[in-house]
Structure 1
Amino acid sequence: MIPLPLARIAEITSGTLSGMADPRAVVRGPVVIDSRAVEPGSLFVAFPGARVDGHDYAAQAVRAGAVAVLATRPVEAPSVIVPDAAAALARLAAAQVAALPATTVIGVTGSAGKTSTKDLLARLAARMGPTIAPVGSFNNELGHPLTVLRADMDTRFMVLELAARNIGHIRELTRIAPPRIGVVLNVGTAHLGVFGGKEAIAKAKGELVEALPRHGVAVLNADDPYVRGMAGRTDARVTFYGRGEDAAIRAEGVTLDERGRASFTLRTPSGAAPVSLQLYGGHAVENALAAAAAAYELGLPVATIAEELSEATPRSRWRMEVTERPDGVTVINDAYNANPDSMRAAFDAFAVLGQGRRRFAVIAALRELGEEGPALNRELGVMAGGAGLAGLVVAGPDAEPVLEGAHEGAARAASGPPGHPQPRIVHVPDAAAAAAELNALLRPGDAVLVKGPRAMGLERTAEQILGGSAQ
């Protein structure tokens, strides 16, 4: 962060110095909300949580090197006392952005693919200058300002991921770090129950393009009608990306190799170049195109964009991580989170990657789908049951619609052309039981997909399978 004395931090956050805090003491960063992440020069922000209260760790944080604590009540340490820690954190981040007028802020949002696109775009922007981006999915009212506060006077680009749990959330995030380029990926079914419909989701995601200045650029997915329609919600210039010929940045001649990795020609208004992704799944093409379109607007040559996209590997955990066990079992850990759209994309990729092998999948009932939840979970089951698997493990609660759909999908497949395997369909209570079930069935050369909502913690299933061995 840009070094700031405590007196200035108190002024920005409307706080009061306490605990014998020296107003001239300088915070040089990082700003952290976990006392274990404190480094010399840090500012520790204390939040009360469901199980622990950060205020109880104030003295420990200062002993570890924190200059002071941003707190909402007096603590036994030098501190800045504020009424609302989250609001103070946002004000501090906004002040930092205002002090960096030469830094270009790029926002990325969408129902699926935000983190993967952000990772690709951060790699591309780094070819042009010092770049910061969130670690993993730091994309909410806490992660967003914490990422911004990592910037310093050398930072040229901020690539920020913006999530929305309701209308107005993205608008608030853009006030912290006003974007000059806004990338909208898609409007899908994630958090459908929270928003109540795709129209509301589109309204929320479109707050990013509404925040763009007239001299900014909206990078929109031409293949998604909800996103395409956002062009009328901004005074900024609009660039479309996609697979169709009307997209300025597009993919031509897309093919998938035997591992499900895409190759295509990246076409831009100033030329074309070949791309061979190391990322798995056909859906990675859209993420790559979105990143390419934003990088093109930054002025990066198309040959350099293609080169970087072709060399990129996953940066964030549990997103189409493909790992081989010593005995030849392939485990695809895509367990970070799930919604109906990402489930379809994962199964499409798995069909290619696991072709000619015995395939197994571990899934769980999807959440936050509102009244459509039972029907969408039944559709998930139908898809999984008819996917040609040798075995399907459904983990966790509320699994009945998924199981009913899975048996229906398996029955439909059995009535079709001969040779379609009948999957073993089982329900288990948790991630550990799912791993035990799979480890008892796997043989050398098998393939496993692990995919489910974040709350189920199915990344533990993948880790336990990877630690096992075929029977």
Structure 2
Amino acid sequence: MIALTLSEIASIVSGQMFDIPDPGRQVTGPVVIDSREVRPDGLFAAFQGEHVDGHDYAQRAVEAGAAAVLAARPVGVPAIVVEDVEAALGALARAVVGRLGATVVALTGSAGKTSTKDLIAQLLQRLAPTVWTPGSFNNEIGLPLTALTADEGTRHLVLEMGARGVGHIRYLAELTPPRIGAVLNVGAAHIGEFGSREQIALAKGELAEALPAAAEGGVAVLNADDPLVRAMSSRTKARTVLFGEAEDADVRAEDVRLTETGQPSFTLRTPTGCSGVTLRLYGEHHVSNALAAAAVAHELGMPVDEIAQALSEAGQLSRWRMEVTERSDGVTVVNDAYNANPDSMRAALRALAAMGGAPRANGGRTWAVLGRMAELGEESLAEHDAVGRLAVRLNVSKLVAVGGLEARWLDMGAKNEGSWGEESVHVSDAQAAIDLLRSELRPGDVVLVKASRSVGLERVALELLDSAGEGEVAGR
């Protein structure tokens, strides 16, 4: 974080200082919400959680080197006390970002946010010091914490913005006002909470609305291939840059194809030229992600040849997102278990099918180990049925549906589509899936593991790797 005194922080957050012997002490370390992560001269923000109260760890945080605690009540150690710790954290982030002089790049979308954020970060750090969202730290607590890791040397701040309802992205954009905003897509993720794709588009489009006018440098990077995203050009005063495979896209992909191992290859065309790209990531859905990243980098002055080279060298920075590991016995495990929605599930299945099409030892098979997709509301059962049917259409060798009612619909959809017998099986939990796979996997097989985060299906992938010894991780 940029250096601020405790008295400056208290003024920014409208807080009162308690038990602070030196108001001029500078905070230069990070702001954290876990006392175990405190660093010398940092700030510990104490949150009241459902099961744990951060105020109980104030003493530990100060003993670990925290200059003070941002708290909702006096805690017997140096503290800045505020009415609302979350609001204070946001106010501090807003003040710090205002002093940085860095270009803030924000992105949102129903799917692909984290992968695209990772790509943008890897491109922009070639231009200048860059700070970006770790993992999916994209809410009203995670976003300001990320912003507060930036310092005087930071030139690019890349922030992923999530939303659970209308107004959320507007709030996040107020905390860290972006100059460049990218909207990737509008899908079915969280449709149970929003009610419709149109409502999702209303929420995602708040990013376009938050951008400064074109005369002030505002740029809206929009997906030309998604009608609901393309329409957001009417909701922004910023200059619009379209990306996609559409002929009128400013940054587009031509001659898209997949390598034998399922990695996308294409010609990247920009207003200043074109160059070839072969991604290290798996699945054709990453083409759109790469184009969004390329559009941002192009706007910030990176030449097209450098963009293409950087994209071709970029890996996945965040765990459990199409994380491909080949075991020593030739079995390939694809851990995509961080989250799932209908769009990302379809993309992952297509990637699995492409990977299974490559020449493999002993005629390897493709396995889709799938679990529940959460927050789909009334569409849930139909969407799970459709995913099961898609697995059949893509000639996936084996479907293992894990869990309760939704998993039964995955299994039933597959069997109804293809009259499958033993090719599709429903199991009760992750352990049952692990036992089945351990007994039946053979060299050359490719196993995709995917479900919503709440299912915890990453255990299957991790157990498969632990039981055989990890091999080389590809595409990272």
Could you say which TM-score interval applies, normalised by the shorter chain? over 0.9
1:367 counterpart residue number: 374
1:396 counterpart residue number: 403
Distance in 2 separating the partners of 1:410 and 1:59: 62
Distance in 2 separating the partners of 1:249 and 1:202: 22
Instruction: Tell me, yes or no, if the aligned pair for 2:335 and 2:449 is still in contact at 8 Å.
Output: yes
Alignment of 1:8-47 (within 5 A): 8-47=8-47
Instruction: Tell me, yes or no, if the aligned pair for 2:17 and 2:79 is still in contact at 8 Å.
Output: yes
Alignment of 1:159-178 (within 5 A): 159-178=158-177
SS of equivalent residue, structure 2 residue 297 = helix
2:282 counterpart residue number: 280
Distance in 2 separating the partners of 1:21 and 1:395: 57
2:473 counterpart residue number: none
Name which of 280, 305, 308 aligns with 2:307: 305
Bigger shift: residues 217-226 or 396-405: 396-405
1:144 counterpart residue number: 143
SS of equivalent residue, structure 2 residue 409 = helix
Alignment of 1:49-64 (within 5 A): 49-64=49-64
Distance in 1 separating the partners of 2:462 and 2:308: 33
Instruction: Tell me, yes or no, if the aligned pair for 2:4 and 2:27 is still in contact at 8 Å.
Output: yes
Instruction: Tell me, yes or no, if the aligned pair for 2:364 and 2:442 is still in contact at 8 Å.
Output: no
Offset of residue 98 of structure 1: 1.1
2:416 counterpart residue number: 408
Distance in 2 separating the partners of 1:258 and 1:56: 55
> Over aligned residue pairs, what C-alpha RMSD do you find?
1.4
Matched to 1:268, the amino acid is T
Alignment of 1:16-165 (within 5 A): 16-100=16-100, 102-165=101-164
SS of equivalent residue, structure 2 residue 281 = strand
Distance in 1 separating the partners of 2:197 and 2:438: 39
Distance in 2 separating the partners of 1:218 and 1:379: 33
Alignment of 1:247-266 (within 5 A): 247-266=249-268
Distance in 1 separating the partners of 2:408 and 2:147: 43
Cα deviations across residues 376-398 of structure 1 (Å, max 9, x unaligned)?
A: 12212222345433432222233
TM-score (norm 1): 0.95
Aligned residues, how many?
A: 460
Bigger shift: residues 334-343 or 393-402: 393-402
Q: Runs of 4 or more off by more than 4 Å in structure 1?
A: none
Distance in 1 separating the partners of 2:439 and 2:48: 43
Bigger shift: residues 117-126 or 383-392: 383-392
Identity of aligned residues (%): 57
Distance in 2 separating the partners of 1:8 and 1:238: 38
Instruction: Tell me, yes or no, if the aligned pair for 1:410 and 1:422 is still in contact at 8 Å.
Output: no
Instruction: Tell me, yes or no, if the aligned pair for 2:111 and 2:187 is still in contact at 8 Å.
Output: yes
Offset of residue 422 of structure 1: 5.1
Instruction: Tell me, yes or no, if the aligned pair for 2:124 and 2:130 is still in contact at 8 Å.
Output: yes
1:193 counterpart residue number: 192
Offset of residue 72 of structure 1: 0.8
SS of equivalent residue, structure 1 residue 467 = helix
Matched to 1:207, the amino acid is E
Pair 127,469 (structure 1): closer, same or farther in 2 beyond 3 Å: closer
Distance in 1 separating the partners of 2:322 and 2:310: 19
Instruction: Tell me, yes or no, if the aligned pair for 2:411 and 2:424 is still in contact at 8 Å.
Output: no
Distance in 2 separating the partners of 1:5 and 1:369: 46
Name which of 318, 323, 326 aligns with 2:325: 323
Distance in 2 separating the partners of 1:174 and 1:270: 30
Alignment of 1:427-466 (within 5 A): 427-429=427-429, 431-466=430-465
Matched to 2:263, the amino acid is R
Matched to 2:58, the amino acid is A
Instruction: Tell me, yes or no, if the aligned pair for 1:385 and 1:423 is still in contact at 8 Å.
Output: no
Cα deviations across residues 98-140 of structure 1 (Å, max 9, x unaligned)?
A: 112x211011110001111111111111121111001111110
Offset of residue 76 of structure 1: 2.7
Distance in 2 separating the partners of 1:174 and 1:303: 32
SS of equivalent residue, structure 2 residue 149 = coil
Matched to 1:220, the amino acid is L
Distance in 2 separating the partners of 1:73 and 1:271: 58
Name which of 246, 249, 260 aligns with 2:248: 246
SS of equivalent residue, structure 1 residue 165 = coil
Instruction: Tell me, yes or no, if the aligned pair for 1:108 and 1:162 is still in contact at 8 Å.
Output: yes
SS of equivalent residue, structure 1 residue 259 = coil
Q: Which runs of 5+ in 1 are unaligned?
A: 415-420
1:467 counterpart residue number: 466
Instruction: Tell me, yes or no, if the aligned pair for 2:190 and 2:375 is still in contact at 8 Å.
Output: yes
1:7 counterpart residue number: 7
Distance in 2 separating the partners of 1:390 and 1:252: 31
Matched to 1:171, the amino acid is R
Matched to 2:150, the amino acid is A
2:474 counterpart residue number: none
Instruction: Tell me, yes or no, if the aligned pair for 2:96 and 2:148 is still in contact at 8 Å.
Output: yes
Distance in 2 separating the partners of 1:20 and 1:182: 40
Cα deviations across residues 72-95 of structure 1 (Å, max 9, x unaligned)?
A: 122132111111111000000000
1:418 counterpart residue number: none
Q: Which runs of 5+ in 2 are unaligned?
A: 358-362, 470-476
SS of equivalent residue, structure 1 residue 337 = coil
Distance in 2 separating the partners of 1:64 and 1:432: 40
Distance in 1 separating the partners of 2:2 and 2:225: 41
